[in-house]
Amino acid sequence: MTDNAPCAPFASPAADPLADTGRLLARVDRGLAELRLGAAVTISGDDGRLMALAAESASAQTLADLAALGPSPRVVLTGRRASVLGLAPAGTTPVAVTLKDGLDVGAICRLADPCLDLDGPLPAIAAVNPITGDGSAGAAVVLAKLARLLPAAVVVALEGAAPPATGAAPLAFELAAADILRYQTAAARSLRKVSEARVPLAGAEHTRILAFRPSDGGTEHLAIIVGEPDPLQPVLTRLHSECFTGDLLGSLRCDCGDQLRGALDAIATQGSGVLLYLAQEGRGIGLVNKLRAYQLQDQGFDTLDANGQLGFDDDERIYLPAAEILRQLGISRIRLLTNNPLKVEALGRHAITVVERVPHIYEPNPYNLRYLQTKARRSGHLF
């Protein structure tokens, strides 16, 4: 190109799907940060506009700020949480709860957090209204989940199209419900390899670790590749959800550590294969909420009922990130090390063919026996 040649025009951002994805993820990331800081965000959806706070980080001041913006702030709970509180039938959609005596931090905690006062009385309730569609109220709860907080939000409806002039910058930040609901899919589809290194392991010296990061700079997923898998043949594969307590500390409450080390041993014995180490602690609810679930298990709930008490589904994981990484590795057919048939079905929906389910069973101990029995009896795991 000569000095006088015109520069090539920049591509229109609207024509760049990766740029659009990056902007979507950045907007939602900002909302996640605001919630974790205890601030409110504005969410626009099919049901209008509202201001939302994460229930577990609400304070007297932020509740007063919400009350000044509109009438009748409400607490939005998942259908699972509403059901265990006796406020809605099992399997219902999220609900918005209006309290007779108004909101305070204690009442919100009683509705949202079973670890604080499991047997205490509920605050007086004026109305419980189901939420349907892809609206802002339901998206507020999804945002709290994505922030790894308790899945509950405090919301107040806003009038008009413009953000309120509150003078408080965090209250002015706005995002669309549709962006929140698309976040996990967009993040998974934006995964790109950002690092690769040879990492010899005990019993598997010919091993590489590849890191895959979403375009918003979020948490990485790892591909641990042993040997040289042949993508033309079904590759022995393990999808392993990170487990700080089991993998790193050797917790006896689960079988995760055994499964991680056993999968690497099995792949090394085979000669080659892949272990995907996925950033989805606690079946997707995060480490803090997993510890809350453990607290509830110590009070007699099994692992699934503990999740329900917190307001989560039995399993909050998605498997699109795993499928996307396998696709980028050139792998479309696998032999899957798992006891969970739902993983087989989920990968099939994302164009990964599981030609064989390889059992992945380890001896239980007195601390995880009930956990394993629950997975077999209620989640269909095959042991």
Residue numbers annotated as active site: 315, 317
Phi-psi region at 273: left, alpha or beta (left = phi > 0; alpha = psi -120 to 50):
left
Tokens of 146: 């994505």
């349907």: which residue's tokens?
A: 132
Sheet (strand 221-226) strand order:
192-198, 207-213, 221-226, 273-278, 235-241, 333-337, 353-358
**Residue 201 gets which letter from DSSP?**
B
Let me know: does 278 contact 241? Beta carbons within 8 Å: yes
Residue 277 CA: distances (Å) to CA of 235, 357, 362 = 16, 18, 19
Nearest to 164 by CA among 241, 70, 247: 70
Nearest to 220 by CA among 185, 262, 190: 190
Distance between CA atoms of residues 127 and 55, nearest Å: 18
Q: Which residues pair with 120 in a beta bridge?
A: none
CB neighbour list of residue 357: distance below 8 Å, 6 or more residues apart: 336, 338, 341, 344, 382
Residue 88, number of CB atoms within 10 A of its CB: 22
Residue 284 phi, psi dihedral angles, 5° rounding? 95, 5
Let me know: does 325 contact 319? Beta carbons within 8 Å: no
